């Protein structure tokens, strides 16, 4: 079970949003590289970077900061999402040392784009599915799509994606616990690993996370809980190892 600290970028700074609202952000640091170092020192095996400005603009806006983090930690696996909607952006991120690009909105609005990118860059593409009230959300979570995450994933999972990152927007940044049921439902629907996101904030959440590992949930992205101290990364990793033994 991989625990992945999140670094959300807004105007070059590290912030956290509540339910994806840009007007409800909490500033945590002016130096995202220092934040990345904090998680690396705590034992992070991967980082999750989100270009929030890019997600709304439809193009990268924090590319330089992301490239700097990748250059500072060349041996660390990094996954990036937010505003990745063309081949050139994918190439630039991978060339800068990013291991995984996350395609969200463009995968839903133009499914053949995801398939083309997976064919050209095998092993480096993830699908980001964000949901509100059971429906997919696109364009920085500002618009709802008619399909459910599970229905869409079943149609597209065969193209060669490395993983699906699933976020319940209602839980994101709210410290209210993650949606284990919806996450497990999605994981059971496809044969691609699912990474949980949104609301993981307590030791009980870690235990629930390990309980759905058997369904195909392979990891979790943790944000506000790490920044506000309700979870400690090193201790969380130790607890996950303990819980995995209980559910084995």
User: What residues are labeled active site?
Assistant: 8, 130
Contact 32, 7 (CB under 8 A): yes
DSSP 222: E
Pairing of strands 13-18, 100-103: unpaired
How far, in Å, CA of 101 to CA of 158, rounded? 17
Residue 165's closest CA among 174, 181, 153? Answer: 153
Residues 6+ apart with CB under 8 A from 239: 203, 206, 207
| Region at 198 (left for phi over 0; alpha for psi -120 to 50; beta for the rest) | left
Distance between CA atoms of residues 51 and 57, nearest Å: 10
- DSSP-assigned letters across all residues of 122-151: TTSEEEEEEEETTEEEETTTTEE-SS-HHH
């Amino acid at each position: 079970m991989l625990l992945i600290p999140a670094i959300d970028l807004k105007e070059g700074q590290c912030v956290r949003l509540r339910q994806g609202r840009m007007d409800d952000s909490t500033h945590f640091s002016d130096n995202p590289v220092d934040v990345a170092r904090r998680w690396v020192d705590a034992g992070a095996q991967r980082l999750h970077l989100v270009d929030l400005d890019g997600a709304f603009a439809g193009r990268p806006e924090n590319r330089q900061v992301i490239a700097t983090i990748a250059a500072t930690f060349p041996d660390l696996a990094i996954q990036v999402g937010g505003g990745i909607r063309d081949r050139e952006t994918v190439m630039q991120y991978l060339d800068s040392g990013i291991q995984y690009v996350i395609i969200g909105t463009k995968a839903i609005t133009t499914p053949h784009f995801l398939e083309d990118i997976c064919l050209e860059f095998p092993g480096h593409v993830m699908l980001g599915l964000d949901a509100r009230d059971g429906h997919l959300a696109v364009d920085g979570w500002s618009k709802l799509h008619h399909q459910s995450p599970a229905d869409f994933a079943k149609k597209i999972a065969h193209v060669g994606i490395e993983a699906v990152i699933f976020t319940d927007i209602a839980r994101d940044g709210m410290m209210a616990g993650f949606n284990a049921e919806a996450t497990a439902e999605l994981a059971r629907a496809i044969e691609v690993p699912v990474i949980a996101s949104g609301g993981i904030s307590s030791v009980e959440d870690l235990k629930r996370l390990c309980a759905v590992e058997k369904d195909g949930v392979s990891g979790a992205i943790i944000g506000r809980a790490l920044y506000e101290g309700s979870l400690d990364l090193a201790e969380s990793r130790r607890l996950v190892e303990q819980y995995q033994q209980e559910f084995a």
